[in-house]
Amino acid sequence: MSKRRDVQGRITSLNEIRTIMESMKNLSMMEIRKLARYHAAQQQVVNSIRQAFNTVRRHYAPDLLTQDGPPVFLLLGSERGFCGAYNEQLIEMLKQQPGQQQAPVIGIGARLQAPLLQVHADAICLPGAAVADEVTPALTRAVATLNHLRQQQGPLRVEVIYLDPDSHQPRCLPALPALETETKAGPEPLINLPPLRLLGELLEHYLFALTNAWFLAALVAENQRRIQHLDQAGHHLERQIDELGKRRNSLRQEEIIEEIEVILLSAESISAPGMKL
């Protein structure tokens, strides 16, 4: 009896864990739906500002921005767990980048901190965003840290490493927009501000919109990975529950057989010759 009760207690515990995991998965699915709307709109803003910036730069200052300068790597990791090897993939992408050993590294996300510090002991670790409403505070902290590094070390080339939600692979992209080349440059745009001032304001808006888009994309990828990981863990729990259920039934059958044997032995002893009723 005690063994069967132990097995039943284990089954109850696993069912409770599975219920919690299902709730976590549902929350991640709801967050992805909300983030998908934000991310799509933000990406349209990024594309519009990039097009306007490149149009003005192509005609007025084609050599304004270059990709020279020492790099600083910004890794957008996970704030919560149950994401599998999410953060490890980002670190592997970082290891492939030239100059990463000497470059400043900023890690975003509580779960990224421990594995990142094992590779880069001097890495700066900041809390990330668990939900869409926390993206702006996380972005503000990252920008303040980048500005502090720039004041200490001068101009830096920002490289962002994050997990792309479409390809599910880590990417390393520069923050500065590349000058797009076109066969037809088109007519010179009519502007009311001096070109350098206009480009500076466009670049400020572009970097803000782009980093927002990256943070949102990373959060989408994190929730996607969490759903995938919880699905796999849920299937594993179901197999364990099924095996324990079979074990419980087997123990119950053994108990029934023992009870029948006791009844039969009692009946034999009662019906034995010379037995007084």
Three-class SS of 187-235? CCCCCCCCHHHHHHHHHHHHHHHHHHHHHHHHHHHHHHHHHHHHHHHHH
Q: How far apart are the first and last CA of the chain?
A: 31
Tell me which amino acid residue 215 is.
F
Say if CB 79 and CB 127 are below 8 A apart. yes
Q: What are the φ and ψ backbone dihedral angles of 274, each rounded to 5 degrees?
A: 85, 0
Q: Where are the alpha helices (DSSP H) in 78-134?
A: 86-95, 110-119
Q: How do the pLDDT tens digits run along the chain, 277 residues long?
A: 578 888 888 888 888 888 888 888 888 888 888 888 888 888 888 888 888 888 888 777 766 655 567 889 999 999 888 888 899 999 999 999 988 888 899 999 999 999 999 988 899 999 988 888 888 899 889 988 988 888 888 878 889 999 988 888 999 988 876 656 554 556 777 787 788 888 888 888 888 888 888 899 899 999 999 888 888 888 888 888 888 888 888 888 887 887 787 787 776 666 655 555 4
Q: Is the CA virtual torsion 145, 208, 67, 169 positive or negative?
A: positive
pTM: 0.77
Q: In whole angstroms, what is the distance from residue 99 CA to residue 148 CA? A: 20
Helix (H, G, I), strand (E, B), or coil: what is residue 255?
A: helix
Three-class DSSP category at 90 = helix
Q: How far apart are CA 140 and CA 1, in angstroms?
A: 60
User: Which residue is listed with tokens 């001032």?
Assistant: 197
Q: What is the pLDDT of residue 180?
A: 62
Q: What is the pLDDT of residue 92?
A: 93
Total residues found in the chain within this entry: 277
Chain centre distance of CA 35: 13
Ramachandran angles phi, psi of 107, nearest 5°? -105, 130
Instruction: Tell which phi-psi region holds residue 7, choosing left (phi > 0), alpha (psi between -120 and 50) or beta.
Output: alpha
Q: Tell me the DSSP string of 42-81.
A: HHHHHHHHHHHHHHHHHHH-TTS--S-S-EEEEEE--SSS
- The number of beta carbons lying within 10 Å of the beta carbon of residue 201 is 12
Could you identify the residue written with the tokens 């108990």? 255
- The structural domains of the chain, ordered by start, are 24-181+213-222 (3.40.1380.10)
